[in-house]
Structure 1
Amino acid sequence: MPDLIAPTTRMHTAWLEARDDGGPGVHEDGFGLRPSDEVDSPAGFVAWVTRLAEDSDPAKATEGGRVRCTYRWIVDGDRVLGGMALRHEFSDLGHIGYGIRPSARRRGLATWALGRMLGEAQELGLDRVLIICAIDNIASAKTIERNGGILEGVRDTEHGPARRYWFEIGALGS
């Protein structure tokens, strides 16, 4: 049974396996990984997980102009299956970003996890949530639509055309 957990250093090896499942890169959707993050060494991984925790801490998250963000990992036992990021303020990237490792796709994990993160957005008091996905990412569009996202339209971004979906959080119910 999957679970959403806060990032933890105890899952270093499992996280690396998830990253390597799709091939490493500087953009791991939902994980908050930056090009400057070094996650292969234990010390680098600890530093990264510490930053992720600080990003969600209201007292520390706004230092240096950072956007407050809650990160969750989708796990099943000792396996990391994906990542979710919930930005607490509006961003050109949208409020929620996510990714599922290739070997765990097509099981409904993203739909389930997105529903949970929308619940966290509601707990934070967000009224509306924006989620953006590449125009050709049909799986992500279906995930968003299954959770009630309303298509605003398509806009050009630095990564190409993207669909923009809005959620009215108050309309989600309890």
Structure 2
Amino acid sequence: MPELVAPTIRLHTAWLEAHAEWGPGRHEDGFGLGPSDEVDSPAGFAAWVARLIGESDPAKTIEPGKPRCTYRWVVESDRVVGGIALRHGSSDYVLWAGHIGYGIRPSARRRGLATWALGRMLDEARVLGLDRLLAVCAVDNVASVKTIERCGGVFESIRDTKFGPVRRYWIEL
């Protein structure tokens, strides 16, 4: 049975296994991993996890221009199978990237985990007082289109971005 857990240093090895399965590139949306994050060493991983946890804490200062964000990892039996992020507010970044970002490692796909995780994060969004969420995905990402639509996403438009055209959906809460 999957569960959503806050980022934790306890899952360092399991997270590294998931990361290695993805391979290099910008395709692990939901983990909040930036180009300057060093996650291989225990100290680097701990610093990254602390940053992720801090980004959801209203009492902590975050990088200017970055939205507050709640990160969760999709975990099954201490195996990290994915990640999902709920970006708070309506900053320019959120209006470009959406309130939600998620990714499921290749070996765990086609099992409904993304739909399950998105449904759980919608509950967290309600607790935060959000009334609707923007979800964005690449136009050719059929799996994400299905995930978003299964969770109530209503298609708004296709827009060009610096990473290519994206489909935009709104999910009413």
1:125 to 113, 129, 132: 129
* Range moving further from structure 2, 60-69 or 95-104: 60-69
Which runs of 4 or more aligned residues in structure 1 lie more than 3 Å from their structure 2 counterparts after TM superposition? 24-27, 61-66
Instruction: Provide the residue aligned with 1:95 in structure 2.
Output: 99
SS in 1 for 2:137: strand
Q: Which residue of 1 aligns with 2:144?
A: 140
Q: Secondary structure at the match of 1:106?
A: coil
Of 139, 157, 162, the residue aligned with 2:161 is 157
For the 8 Å contact 2:131–2:172, the answer to whether it is kept is yes
Percent pairwise identity? 71
- Structure 1 gap segments, 5+ residues each: 170-174
CA contact (8 A) 2:71 2:85 kept: yes
Find the aligned partners of 1:109 and 1:26 in 2 and give their Cα distance.
20
The equivalent of 1:30 in structure 2 is: 30
TM-score for both structures, normalised by structure 1:
0.94
- Tell me the SS of whatever aligns to 1:49: helix
Quote how far apart the aligned CAs of 1:65 are: 4.2
Number of matched pairs? 169
Aligned-residue offset at 1:67: 1.5
What's the CA shift for 1:153?
Answer: 1.2
Q: 1:54/1:42 Cα in 2 relative to 1: closer, same or farther (>3 Å)?
A: same
In structure 2, the gaps of 5 or more residues are none
Q: Give 1:64 deviation, angstroms.
A: 3.8
- Letter aligned with residue 82 of structure 2: G
Does the aligned pair in 1 maintain the 2:27–2:103 contact within 8 Å? no
